[in-house]
Chains A and B, each alone.
Chain A
């Protein structure tokens, strides 16, 4: 059954696309595209068509509640709906399946009122009972729901006084929970899906209430989605209210960036979800629309392990914050990425500009180090009691700016030694607690990411003793008033940078591109693609 749907889809676009394109001369093509481009702005959305989307890697597991890589999340978002949605522009939480909500008791108690008439693709109703079953299921899933289970940490109980009301009670204040309900990690699945094994769900036996349903999933090959004709409960942010414009979406897994780009340019795919910096120029030169958005959350930063003697005094950490010339990093970044201006990305709600605190100040850095007893050695690297100021960093991410940071730090006498490795090895090192420096970013469209990562009684990325910042972070989880919470987050960010607990570097951006005939595609607040309003110009 699944196979047959797949083959029909292939016939409609896959096999004929290259031949069709061959018939049109290059000049004609360019002229036609230019006309389409201008016509599209005023054009009405059109129903129909299968959108071909190039993903850069195998999704591994398509169940949105289980740990997903970015490619899996882009699929999961289309088949599940959430209680709320988050406006990518303002960060505000807006209605989706829940029409209204309130939080009480210092963010310990959340009450959601559900809309009428929403159903899962298998026909079962999306009611309070289904929401309860989902959230209870996530808690039971534990580590397998690595994101969602942390959003529900400290859950006391879930009550369903009537089919349209869900009351979720936590043991402690949980200000981040409202935003968490907008993420696809807490996307809702039918009860029949919840009864399946986690493995079956990973392999594609997932039924949600979203505008598309998954019809087939073949590892390393493709995932195919089909429109739900009876859909009619989109997020309040959506531009239309009934079924999706696209008849279906075909995700193709194309690991080679050059092949993704060539396929997009030759119209063998309509969307590329991951464009490498070296491919941006070609696409821009040919006028292909680029979709770029900074990933909200924690920017790419260094996190010192403060339990080690090297970092015992804050001087070295503070000096490194000052010794990095962030604007200079911009020269080697993609035009869509930017140097960090805070520990949080600009797209995160409650972001506050910390450029002042992150200003390049090599003299100030040198003075801090000298006052702390680090004197310049013969080779330009500082020493103290015969020990060189060497910091080792093992990392796995495909980033190009660390070598420049290394050069910059050398100028203030710090020897940053880089070791590019693989994720498994870096994690193993991290788990020993002996890694002097960690380097990563974390995508989350809620400033609570600071509490998750830094809280001394929580993950404690710095292996440090409790300090003022922990009190501020704890208070931020209980703040009822948005203004109060914003002020607390700003204070926490200030303390984290001032003491060098976080050494922010670069804001990661998700960069994709579409053909000129694709319209209405955009990122949600978490910088994942949302295809509900997308349509193809015929």
Chain B
């Protein structure tokens, strides 16, 4: 704590800036760590991308000298540290390099794929939140005990559903048997429905699970009893007092959920033949296209970090006590 800060008496605004700054430093560290770890993992894997590029399905018949020249072009003949240094220096200057497989700029590939994944992930997140919230509210307000326990058990079932299986099932019903939606591609909102639903179902289940539990915890708190004694209606109590308090764990989870959605996009985009970051990552890993994998890792880490940052900065809006306590803890 600095003298100025002590004199200024830790105003909330100052706390927030300090807190944001420290979080940004942390975020940069996370980005660097993600970049480095993925680089090392890719390096440890045997073989190199040039060999894979020249062996598409059939075995290569090319002159080893020419292969060596290509490897040199991509600095693949340099020692690990030199390769890492070159890549990191480029990345710091926001140059993510060129894909070894396709020769495209990695940044351009990410820019091309990102909107599709963003649309998918945001739709899925919105659907998951609405569905999860609805289910949790239904479970908490159900009068019938059996219905309530059934509704409370439903999310556990949803969490268990593998994305892959849900996707294929939805396709079978709503595209192949009853041709309501297109089975593939990124052609407008219509092609977004099934993949977003596939991705949203397990996420919604998680949201419902957490919210259900936290709702029943808040309903049991003494302040609720006091407010009810004052004559507040159950509905008013729920929406103005219980729900805002109960959503804080869900907000905390949103950051994690975003990560899950990004990870789930690999499977969903493959099943629904969609363009996107997930497909890009899957393809790049398969052919060991290091610059592309690195680019995806950095982008995913950046999104993850940014969402968590926003979530953290949003806490005070729901509960002003949080900033002061956190900032104190960090100072």
Residues of A at the B interface (CB closer than 8 Å) are 10, 14-15, 17-19, 21-22, 58, 60-61, 67-70, 72, 142-144, 146-147, 149-150, 197-200, 202-203, 218-222, 252-256, 258-259, 262-263, 265-266, 268, 422-429, 431, 440-443, 452, 459
Contacts and interface: CB of A to CB of B under 8 A. Distances in A.
A55 to B, nearest CB: 10
A259 B271 contact: yes
B221 interface: no
A161 B140 CA distance: 89
Nearest to B283: A58
A14 B98 CA distance: 33
B279 A220 contact: yes
Given A428-B51, A440-B58, 10 more contacts: A22-B179, A67-B54, A142-B69, A203-B103, A221-B185, A221-B273, A221-B274, A259-B183, A422-B286, A440-B59
A18 B56 contact: no
B56 A259 contact: no
Given A15-B182, A144-B70, A253 B46 contact: no
B55 interface: yes
A254 B184 contact: yes
B63 A143 contact: yes
A220 B280 contact: yes
B168 to A, nearest CB: 6
A3 to B, nearest CB: 12
30 contacts: A14-B187, A15-B182, A15-B187, A18-B180, A22-B179, A61-B103, A67-B55, A67-B56, A68-B56, A72-B56, A142-B62, A142-B66, A143-B63, A199-B103, A218-B112, A220-B269, A220-B275, A221-B185, A221-B274, A252-B273, A256-B168, A256-B273, A258-B168, A263-B175, A263-B183, A268-B182, A268-B183, A422-B286, A431-B51, A440-B59
Nearest to A222: B185
A85 to B, nearest CB: 21
Nearest to A7: B187
A424 B46 contact: yes
A220 B171 CA distance: 19
B315 interface: no
Contacts of B98: 199
Contacts of A69: 56-57
B268 to A, nearest CB: 11
Contacts of A255: 270, 273
B55 A427 contact: yes
A311 B312 CA distance: 65
A440 B168 CA distance: 32
Contacts of B185: 10, 14, 221-222, 252
A424 B66 CA distance: 18
A513 to B, nearest CB: 15
A266 B179 contact: yes
Nearest to A256: B271
A424 B61 contact: no
Contacts of A266: 175-177, 179, 183
Contact of A259 (B104, B177, B184): B184
A70 B175 CA distance: 28
A67 B53 contact: yes
Nearest to A438: B59
Nearest to B54: A146
Interface in B78-114: 98, 101-104, 109, 112-113
A17 B191 CA distance: 13
A10 B283 contact: no
Given A15-B187, A220-B279, A268-B184, A21 B179 contact: yes
